[in-house]
Amino acid sequence: MTVTHPIWLLLVFRLPARRASLRVQVWRHLRRAGSLPLHTSGYLLPDSPGNRERFEWLAALVRRAQGTASVVLAQSVDNLPAEELAQRFREARGRDYAALLREVTRAGRSAKGVSPAQLTRFRRRLREIAEIDFFGSPARSRVEAALEQAAARDSHEGGATTMATQKKDYQKRVWVTRPRPKIDRVSSAWLIRRFIDPKAKFIFAADPARHPRAVPFDMYQPGGFGHRGEDCTFETLVKEFRIGDARVRTIAQIVHDADLDDEKFARQEGFGLLRVLEGWAEQGVPDRELLRRGMELIEGLYKGLA
């Protein structure tokens, strides 16, 4: 992949020496975000709305701790060519993929092979790495091939065990998403409650790390279920849990077009739902009530498609 004149985000910060634990916390966030450390003590990410929000959130965290932090947009960094910086990102993700591939290979060599629970965990880790693989490391395809082989072997030996185990792993869970839910988060919560986890409970947080036992969805930070490739979170959940309901597939198209506004499916229905949600948000409706009302809207849409 050739990189042509990207815009970079640079986070430069300084924490008081006594805040060692916070320094470790910030470093972990930076690592999960896939940022590239520079010799200038700054951290680099390609510019995007999600990456900007991550850095701004970390900058605010540092400032609250009486530190200093700046998020800077840069055309170039330390006179390093864009392609060289992109290659450094690829190499970092290559190391992540290689570590995961070693785990998959080691599990596959065991007497029982890769278990359904392991396969779910490996897929989740692959998604986490892929979400921060900004420049397309070639190592990703090797992990995907290994997981496909493991899934095929498990399907041959255990039939539908993988899917049943996967849903079982997500029962009676707490799910966490960002505050002020809009159409993708609202519809995803409806999908979770109706097809995946009937007893699901939902909470709101800017940082899923504060709720380590909760399942994140539609969060900017890596992990959980979110946008993947051209798919919105709703589509990711439909594919991940293999929900074959025809009305759900139609709703997926509606949500996609309203959330991403790319006219992929030429669906207009979701924009009305989006405006209603935005209107309620402007009225100051609390997050939980927004989610409850929004889920009722999606349920009405689902029944109306019958």
- Using the predicted structure, report yes or no on whether residue 188 has a pLDDT greater than 70: yes
Give me 285's structure tokens: 């409706």
CB 135 within 8 A of CB 83: no
Q: Residue 163: its pLDDT value, please?
A: 43
Q: Residue 4: its pLDDT value, please?
A: 58
Residue 302: how many CA atoms within 13 Å on its side-chain side? Answer: 17
Q: What mean pLDDT is predicted for residues 118-130?
A: 86
Most confident of the following: 8-22, 32-46, 133-147, 287-301: 287-301
Domains and CATH numbers, the chain: 8-80 (3.30.70.240), 83-162 (no CATH), 170-304 (no CATH)
- Using the predicted structure, report yes or no on whether residue 162 has a pLDDT greater than 60: no
What is the enclosing helix (H) or strand (E) of 301?
helix 287-304
- Using the predicted structure, report yes or no on whether residue 22 has a pLDDT greater than 50: yes
- Using the predicted structure, report yes or no on whether residue 160 has a pLDDT greater than 70: no
Backbone phi and psi for residue 217, each to the nearest 5 degrees, phi listed first:
-145, 140
For residues 225 and 264, what is the distance between their CA atoms, to the nearest angstrom? Answer: 21
CA 185: distance to chain centroid? Answer: 12
- Using the predicted structure, report yes or no on whether residue 120 has a pLDDT greater than 70: yes
CA 159: distance to chain centroid? Answer: 29
